[in-house]
Structure 1
Amino acid sequence: MAKKKTKFICQSCGYESPKWMGRCPGCGEWNKMVEEVEIVGKQKKTFIHSEEKSAAKPTPLVKVESTQEPRVTTELKELNRVLGGGVVPGSLVLIGGDPGIGKSTLLLQVSSQLAEKQHKVLYISGEESIKQTKLRADRLGIKAADLFIYAETDLEVIHLAIDEVNPSFVIIDSIQTIYHPEVTSAPGSVSQVRECTAELMRIAKIKGIAVFIVGHVTKEGSIAGPRLLEHMVDTVLYFEGERHHTYRILRAVKNRFGSTNEMGIFEMKEAGLEEVENPSEIFLEERSRGASGSTVVASMEGTRPVLVEIQALVAPTSFGNPRRMATGIDHNRVSLLMAVLDKRVGLLLQNQDAYLKVAGGVKLDEPAIDLAIIISIASSFRDQPTRATDCIIGEVGLTGEVRRVSRIEQRVFEAAKLGFERIIIPANNLGGWKIPEGIEVVGVTNVGEALQYALGGS
């Protein structure tokens, strides 16, 4: 007879303990240890049929045939770009995001587009009934014949439904509502999320089905459940944006079949999500002309250049230690660049508060934005506005030099396309490429020279 054994598992990090503790030793969170019953001596069932078990044996690497993974493209080019060119059959994709951001809407639209291409799609909803899902589909104008809707949370029943329908794509909305009947803990717990994801991964790999699973996020913004969850899946996508604003950003933080630097931008409308073909216009449409502390930088998001506005506000401090706050930029990078301005240019910023923001809610982490940050800070400190038709690109070193950046030609062409008349770039990036007509390219070697061009009126 099977014996019952209790253990306590942290719902934040998955740390296991034989006794209850108020504070988890793994992550330091309080009151996250939950009691779960573990059955010892009972053989765990598996839902994978015996005829589906692989009979493959270890094979020498030189004898393995290397074939390019076939991809299935959707009508959303932004999603295809983030996935690395399309959906790979047999892959497991995790999509996380805040409540109400549009994860279910995005996946229902993708399901319809795949079904219209003669692919069977099984949409499994653990949060809505079939009628509720149908109402949302009617609002989005979805009427695909090969799209099957199923409301179920039992993983064993879901596996039987997958065997019956034999789809090419499966959507699980959401993984926190699905439960494994052999796991005694409640749905959404660390054990349930781990076991259900492992079972879905086996189904995806054995049957060659692409599985999309929706994951809820914690208040810190990370996907709820064990950290192992992100290691198990092939691709992790984050759907970002404010629920009260219309624009959404889809970003890949892990992708075994493509780049993790790509970004897709959508706009939420009455009829669903629509892709934004030119995001640079969106980020610059509300820019104030003639205001100090504002610069435009051409940042690379994967293979796409995006023009965004960096805003800085520098004001005398009323505290003993000046404040340094940044939104969309690394706080440590701002402190470093302000130290360069203080040491190499002579701007006395030790008694100044500095607040920086990337307009539009974008997060920038590449070194090519350094020079734009420095000019924004100097512009606000001197209260001298930059030219509205200037675009600034360059990495800044600790000695004040401006270093070359990658893909300068694509950045300059994007700035020229949006009507910018002058672009300040590192001098080492000059030459070897064709400058587009109607734009002046200025090469600078150090921060002082860049400030002279941007704020000196030359």
Structure 2
Amino acid sequence: MKARTTFACSGCGAEYTKWYGRCQRCGAYATIEESSSAAASAGLRSTRTTRAPARPARRVHEIEADSRQERTSTGLRELDRVLGGGLVPGQVVLLAGEPGAGKSTLLLTAADAVASATGRPVLYVSGEESVQQLAARAHRIEATSEHLLLADSNELGEALGHLEAVEGDPALFIVDSVQAIASAEVDGRAGGVAQVMEVASTITRLAKSRNLPVFLVGQVTKESTLAGPRALEHIADTTLSLEGEKQTPLRLLRTIKNRFGPADEVACFEQTDGGIVEVPDPSSLFRSLRAAPVPGTCLSVTVEGRRPMIAEMQALVSPSTTPNPRRGVSGLDTSRVSMLIAITERLGGVRLGDKDVFAATVGGMRSSDPATDLAVCLAIASAAHELVLPLDVAAIGEVSLSGDIRRVGMMAQRLAEAGRLGYRRVLVPAGTASTLGPTPAGVELMEVAAIQDALRRLEGLQPAARVAQPTTMSQEPDRLTSIDPVEA
């Protein structure tokens, strides 16, 4: 009987009756290869042969769980936090990020700190840069520990040879990047599916057998997703993503997967001329420090991972000179801001149909947290009426299409962060106080049920005078008026 020819994806295992250039399940390119169903059936039958296991199965109550794992600090508190407290022996960490995000700089800084703290050798092998380039960066960021070793190699055997040649017990092994290293025992180009899986699997087995923490740097695609097969993330114990705009120095390190700690932590760093430095209080980066309030601004508290951070929502509303008014957004979701503009106009009574509306965040922050909806609406209304909100007022809440203000998660942490930074009056969804428990000291909750209630509640919060506007000799500033709905 003639064996039926089939095609299978080497990345996810999906089977097809004919060849495709791209796997329809995982989306990877050039991973579908020809296979024989007869050979597959023979292989399946051969796996049915049993043998005695080296370690028999044990009852769960007989196994002592190791809940207090010894961890090695990376020397960076923010990096330790996303890892769950430091590096676990044998842990494989996959760090991904766009080119220029600061992956190599971050790992060189951590490698120098680990080498200096432990007094043990740390090996950094690069497949993308020469030793001279690595040394130039290391001297620039003052990563000059005598126990830090640098090497360059594109071949897996040579890279492991560098590790074997290290005298003493190494504290950390860094490979930059896993897509740039190739194995001579596997066919295919460096960065291909087979090569990436072989390199990652070999290094992972080595890390587990020697209890050696390992950092693997991963490249990303143009869609900002990790390059290579999805199985690469399954091999690693921890997957981190370093994000940031090239125009701003802020870098956010997110935990995507973590077997030894929380999988939703976020750390903040700042890229400087002297290297990458920690930002223990990122709220200071995302708000404008001013002595007097200005129209079109409202503070909110967003949550990145499990970290609450103050975020300033800004809006600018000006008369339009075109039949189709412009809508500009920066740092926020464009579709959501368009929805909030429509809600503010239709349900809040703020006329915006003949005006250009621009909304943005401060400090290059990108936020998709629905808890900032109320602050965006209030900023738009404030800009439209040229009114200001007091400096000690913040707004937290999701706005629905019906205009209702809905509750959001982690409200206790959000209010604690607002109180820590001096915001004493916070607009929150109705019913928050009954479910929150003790309110943070010095924070007054102002519950609102709908967007109309929020605008009406602000009537008693206006400061004594309007912010000064440019005037002529014959003009005087108008008296302050409260935010009143505009009649249709």
Name the TM tier (shorter chain).
0.7 to 0.9
User: What is the aligned-residue identity percentage?
Assistant: 38
| 1:26 paired residue number | 24
The 1:29/1:86 distance shift into structure 2, 3 A limit, reads closer
Secondary structure of 1:24's counterpart equals coil
TM-score norm. by structure 1 comes to 0.81
Paired residues of 1:236 and 1:252 also in contact (CA < 8 A) = yes
Spell out the pairing of 1:304-319 with structure 2 (5 A cutoff): 304-313=307-316
Q: Per-residue deviation at 1:307?
A: 0.5
| 1:450 paired residue number | 454
Provide Cα deviations, 1:77-124, integer angstroms capped at 9, x if missing partner.
Answer: 111112222222222211112222211111011011111222432211
Spell out the pairing of 1:346-385 with structure 2 (5 A cutoff): 346-347=349-350, 355-385=358-388
Provide Cα deviations, 1:286-328, integer angstroms capped at 9, x if missing partner.
Answer: 6796544321111233443211112234567899988766544
| 2:276 paired residue number | 273
- Identify unmatched segments of 5+ residues in structure 1: 1-6, 42-53
Spell out the pairing of 1:200-211 with structure 2 (5 A cutoff): 200-211=203-214
Q: Which has the larger radius of gyration?
A: 2
Paired residues of 1:10 and 1:16 also in contact (CA < 8 A) = no
Whole-Å Cα distance in 1 between the matches of residues 444 and 390 of structure 2? Answer: 13
| 1:436 paired residue number | 441
Say whether 1:138 aligns with 2:139: yes
Paired residues of 1:9 and 1:190 also in contact (CA < 8 A) = no
Say whether 1:121 aligns with 2:116: no
Paired residues of 2:83 and 2:261 also in contact (CA < 8 A) = yes
Secondary structure of 2:132's counterpart equals helix
Whole-Å Cα distance in 2 between the matches of residues 332 and 63 of structure 1? Answer: 55
CA-based RMSD: 3.8
Paired residues of 1:386 and 1:455 also in contact (CA < 8 A) = no
| 1:47 paired residue number | none
Which amino acid in 2 is paired with 1:96?
A
Q: Per-residue deviation at 1:363?
A: 3.2
| 1:64 paired residue number | 63
How many residue pairs end up in the alignment? 435
Whole-Å Cα distance in 2 between the matches of residues 182 and 58 of structure 1? Answer: 34
Q: Per-residue deviation at 1:359?
A: 2.3
Paired residues of 1:259 and 1:302 also in contact (CA < 8 A) = no
Q: Per-residue deviation at 1:66?
A: 1.0
Spell out the pairing of 1:40-189 with structure 2 (5 A cutoff): 55-68=54-67, 69-118=69-118, 119-165=120-166, 166-189=169-192
Secondary structure of 1:345's counterpart equals coil
Between stretches 333-342 and 66-75, larger displacement belongs to 333-342
Q: Per-residue deviation at 1:449?
A: 1.6
| 2:468 paired residue number | none
Q: Per-residue deviation at 1:192?
A: 1.6
Which amino acid in 1 is paired with 2:159?
I
Q: Per-residue deviation at 1:271?
A: 2.6
Paired residues of 1:115 and 1:146 also in contact (CA < 8 A) = yes
TM-score norm. by structure 2 comes to 0.76
Paired residues of 2:248 and 2:364 also in contact (CA < 8 A) = no
Spell out the pairing of 1:165-314 with structure 2 (5 A cutoff): 165=166, 166-285=169-288, 290-313=293-316
Secondary structure of 1:175's counterpart equals coil
Whole-Å Cα distance in 1 between the matches of residues 459 and 102 of structure 2? Answer: 43
Whole-Å Cα distance in 2 between the matches of residues 419 and 36 of structure 1? Answer: 61
Whole-Å Cα distance in 1 between the matches of residues 297 and 229 of structure 2? Answer: 41
Q: Per-residue deviation at 1:278?
A: 1.7
- Identify unmatched segments of 5+ residues in structure 2: 1-6, 40-52, 463-488
The 1:96/1:426 distance shift into structure 2, 3 A limit, reads same
